[in-house]
Structure 1
Amino acid sequence: MKKHSILWAAAAATSLALLSACGGGGGDSPAASTPPPVVVTPPPVVNPPTPPATDPPPSTPPAGPPVIDPNNPPDWLALANRCERPRAGHADAQGTLMDELKWLRSFYGETYLWYRELPTGLRLEDYTRAVDFFDDYKTWASTASGRAKDRFHFTYPTEAWEGLSSSGTEVGYGVTWSRNADPAAPRVWAVAMVAPSSPAALAGMRRGDGLSSVDGVALTDNTVDGVARLNAGLFPAAAGEAHRLVLTRAGVPLTVNLTAAQVDNPPVQNVKTIDTPTGKVGYLQFDDHNQLSESELAKAIGTFKAANVVDLVLDMRYNGGGYLAVANELAYMIAGPAATSGKIFEQLQYNDKTTPQPPDMFRTKAYGFKSSQLAGGAALPYLGLKRVTILATAGTCSASESVINGLRGIDVEVNLIGGDTCGKPYGFIPANNCGTTYFAIQMQGANNKGFGDYADGFQPTCRVGDDLDHALGESAERLLSTALAYRDSGICPAQPMANRARAASGAVSGPMTLVRPQVREIAIRNR
């Protein structure tokens, strides 16, 4: 029996525009508009989601994978880009909503990792938007701990996805927010990170500033109108939108007027060396495995190599992932050729309808992304370290976790300082159709030792709360200072009281979590 090859299909179906090394097509489908972040809505129901009403009890799994003949390709190849509303300037053909729905059912029926658990009773005729069907077309099983097995199923406008995946550009103010993790408590938001030269930076916003109100609406407002206005002000839909935020800094109110713009979010920042009695330690803030980061990481590692650093602190506390090839290259640049030669960085495991793929060995040469300044095949610099310290939180996700797992698979000592990582050993091949990019789990990764079971995240070596009272990269910042102390003594230092975020209601204690869309927490297969 012949099995389906995702990679063969991607090459054969150029009109589908599965993500390649230089990205896919653009789009502006109304159905693909970004959903309002759940963090500013009233507290969500904490019970597991209910499967669609049309979903019958799981049927008996088929006896084996279907026969897929490359000379008689599956329906989704012919249905790709047959759109209900074709976009001008794109390779869209006039089609119907039913064409889009059938494309989804065909494509993910073949490539979804848990295709045997897809609901079989969904009626396409009951859907008025393709994205709504996609939301229901996934496994509804739960893990042993009661969490949804598939928590990672989502869509994004293709045009917006292209900007993020290539250079990190997006419409907004250039601010990353952190919020209190307890959905039942009154909202508390604080600035976690500000992009250089962004509207937020030019307005004087800083890490640790608390949020009080947006356009005159208190952050704690739970009315329908209030929530809508908070969303509109915090997440502007277009460049040029102007909104007023009231912040607090050290208990003093601060009003800022912001105009949304197309913001560049640099993936690599704060590259510096720290002098210690036992040698130089490199510090690197790494926020996004996007295309641009390939050359930026190589430049940083080259700087560290020239400085003869003996250790590295890699700050990935807010890095949700991105391209697995970048994660692979970074792991190699840390460990070097002696530790990685002939070793597997990650073996991606697909469903049994898919032709098994060869493992991804450690990359010694650059992939050469479109937005990177490195040419494909350029030799990568390396440090040859036998240990690395990674600053991590629940915002450390997906491809970032692949770096951790890949290095541990070749016996590089990886010490984690901070909190549990997010727990996403899964990857995607983003698929663009009619202006929407669909993300459904199609693979799970394992390292050189065959380990890939970290759905509950990696636990920290030293547990430390995120410190919003200091800038990232400051030696006094709690995660970094803990990393340096642990390096010297091998003992986790005693921690002060739980980190406190400043907010309109005053300083409050408790865990915080990042505010960002799922598209920033992914592992992307780029070939």
Structure 2
Amino acid sequence: MLTLNANMKLRNFLPIAMLAMALFVSCSDDDIAEPETTELPGEVPDSNVQLEIKDFLWKAMNNIYLYKEDVPFLADDYFATQTELNNWLANWDSPEELFYEGLAYNYPNVDRFSWVVSDYEVLESQFQGTGKSAGFTYGWSYAPNSTTEVIAYILYVAPGGPADVAGLKRGDFISEVNGETITINNYNKGILSPDFLEVGLSTIENGALVPQEGTLEITKTSFKEDTSPISKVFIVDGVRVGYLYLSSFLGEFGVDDVKLNDAFGFFDSENIDELIVDLRYNRGGYSEFSADLGSMVTGQFEGEIFTKQQWNAQYQAYFEQEDPERLLNKFDGAVSNGDAINGLNLNRVYVLGTGRSFSASESFIIGLEPYIDVVHVGTETGGKFQGSVTLYDGDGFGKQNINTNHKYAVQPLVYKFANANGFTDFVDGLVPDIVKEEDILNLGQLGELDEPLLARAVADITGSADRSFLSEGPKLQKIKVEEERGFFIETPLTGKELPIKKRLFEEK
């Protein structure tokens, strides 16, 4: 997802300042009107909190939603009066039902990634990496030779987080939570949601699940995960191979982009020949980071188009006339503190990507493809080619004069991105050049040469045989859960920042 920050480079802000607070502007026949908030005659709800929330959701989606033209209820002229709108909104049992069944376009088949929250402070803490968390990434699988028992396999443990402190490790299997055995009937009902988790681990021996003695106690806390890049250099068969692990593009802007640049300064000093970028669990983040990463891999394409945006019809027409550069994300020459980007001028990069690699990770791949050889090792990515923004029930859908009667916010898709060649709409994800699925029973340690995905990429680089298959044995059956969200977000709004003017009903 992408988020906006006051320190972020202005050309990549989602909102632009309102051109004036006046209600009307004199325009020539060729002028494109600013995108507007539909205002209907009649009383805006102010004594029914549920109706206030629903009214906010409708008006936010009516204004900026990417798929506005595909949702009949969001048409500017669908309701003649505020009373008509109020009556329609009242028919929905909850704001959530309204959003997912009435406003989001063919959810979850077309729009899988817009969502609504009842407490924007929780949402903000998640984006800032400070929300309550146990600090581990996991997947679900059936236990060996079972169609009823389920285990959680651990993919990643955040250094210094509660799970790490408790002793949980990548490759562990959780089979019991708070005294309850995990089964097909309870695994997807929030069994790992409580703030306190007493987990029982098991091993797999001779094709059977073997419970281990003792338990690990994990208490979720509001810790800030360190998303700093991990960089290493391996020398394999005389080839100097750089390795970069990046868990997120959501870090603190103005800090993590500088750390990323430092990592590339290290690669430059080591005179690497090849680079492997590990984005296998990177769910996305700020678009600026994605473009900066592409600029660091290369360096020879400064000013060229990295990705470009397509908004709903009203916003697209407005931006094309008033601020066409706003639609372009370009290769850059500097990071946020002004330091020159440490470009490696590479003509090839390897990317480790999986179904847990979303949006900003995917934009990195497609953004580079028109310019250099991108070798994708792993499996299909998550398939999120849209950006979103947080909208509040305040002026300009920002936080100024916010409605204090509720804390609802909405995170709608507002644009889709394409590369310089126009490639987008990869709904099924990006197809790997070299297929290599992670093996639950042989995950290996991230950043080690014998880790199977990294080993496969190195084998292709050096032309040596891929020996990672030698350790492959029986497979466990994974359970696919449609709960992953990718992040490609613009900075949160803080005031009257959307290019919106009020349009009186009589102007129609």
Q: TM-score, normalised by structure 1?
A: 0.72
Counterpart for residue 51 of structure 2: 98
Shift in Å, 1:73: 5.6
Of 81, 84, 99, the residue aligned with 1:134 is 99
Q: Does 2:17 align with 1:11?
A: yes
Distance 1:185 1:11, change over 3 A: farther
Distance 1:321 1:266 in 2: 15
Give me the TM-score of the superposition, normalised by structure 2.
Answer: 0.74
Distance in 2 between residues matched to 1:352 and 1:149, nearest whole Å: 18
Are residue 334 (structure 1) and residue 297 (structure 2) matched?
Answer: yes
Give structure 2 stretches of 5+ with no counterpart: 1-11, 21-30, 79-84, 205-209, 394-405, 493-508
Letter in 1 for 2:101: D
Contact 2:130 2:224 survives alignment (8 Å): yes
Q: CA deviation at 1:270?
A: 3.3
Question: Rg larger in 1 or in 2?
Answer: 2
Runs of 5+ consecutive residues of structure 1 not aligned to the other structure = 1-5, 15-65, 85-93, 369-374, 501-507
Identity within the alignment, %: 25
* Contact 1:164 1:290 (C-alpha < 8 Å) held by counterparts: no
Q: 1:482 is matched by which residue type in structure 2? A: R
Q: Indicate the residue corresponding to 2:503 in structure 1.
A: none
1:218 partner letter: T
Is residue 323 of structure 1 aligned with residue 286 of structure 2?
A: yes
1:281 aligned to which of 220, 241, 244:
241
Q: CA deviation at 1:243?
A: 2.7
The match for 2:487 is 522
Quote how far apart the aligned CAs of 1:389 are: 0.5
> What aligned pairs does 1:17-36 form with structure 2 within 5 A after superposition?
none
After superposing the two structures, state which structure 1 stretch, 199-208 or 114-123, moved more.
Answer: 114-123
Query: Relative to 1, partners in 2 of residues 1:514 and 1:140: Cα closer, same or farther, differing over 3 Å?
Result: closer
CA shift in 2, pair 1:74/1:317, >3 Å: same
Distance 2:212 2:482 in 1: 22
Q: 1:287 to 1:312 in 2, by over 3 A?
A: same
Q: Which moved more, 1:127-136 or 1:205-214?
A: 127-136
Match of 2:114 in 1: 153
Question: Are the structure 2 counterparts of residues 405 and 499 from structure 1 closer, same or farther at C-alpha, using a change threshold of 3 Å?
Answer: farther
User: Which range is displaced more, 426-435 or 284-293?
Assistant: 426-435
Quote how far apart the aligned CAs of 1:132 are: 2.9
Residues 424-470 of structure 1 show CA distances to partners (whole Å, capped at 9, x for unaligned) of 11111222334333222211111112222322211111111214531
Matched to 2:476, the amino acid is S
Partner of 2:477: 510
**Partner Cα separation in structure 1 for residue 452 and residue 244 of structure 2:** 16
Shift of 1:384: 1.3
The alpha-carbon distance between structure 1 residues 275 and 263, as it changes in their structure 2 partners (threshold 3 A), is same
C-alpha distance in 2 between matches for 1:416 and 1:511: 22
What secondary structure, in the 3-state scheme, does the structure 1 residue paired with 2:150 have? Answer: coil
Which residue of 2 is the match for residue 189 of structure 1?
152
SS at match of 2:132: strand
Cα separation, 2, equivalents of 1:13 and 1:322: 29
Structure 1 match to 2:66: 113
d(CA) in 2 for partners of 1:202, 1:515: 29
2: CA distance between counterparts of 1:227 and 1:492?
36
Amino acid at match of 2:269: A
Residues 346 and 406 in structure 1, CA contact (< 8 A), matched pair in contact too: yes
8 Å CA contact 2:141, 2:477 repeated in 1: yes
Q: Distance in 2 between matches of 1:83 and 1:408?
A: 50
> Which among 189, 193, 207 is matched to residue 235 of structure 1?
193
Matched residues in 2 for 1:397 and 1:522: separation?
7
**Contact 2:37/2:62 (<8 A) preserved:** no
Counterpart selection for 1:207 from 165, 170, 174: 170
| Partner residue, 2:4 | none
Within-5 A mapping of 1:260-409: 260-292=220-252, 293-336=256-299, 338=300, 340-354=301-315, 355-356=318-319, 357-358=324-325, 359-366=328-335, 368=336, 375=337, 377-409=338-370
Residues 219-239 of structure 1: CA deviation (Å, up to 9, x unaligned): 00626xx975xx25x123xxx
Deviation at 1:523, TM superposition (A): 0.9
The CA deviation at 1:491 is: 7.7
- Residues 318, 395 of structure 1: 8 Å contact kept: yes
Letter in structure 1 aligned against 2:227? P
What's the counterpart of residue 422 of structure 1? 382
- Contact 1:324/1:526 (CA < 8 Å) preserved in 2? no
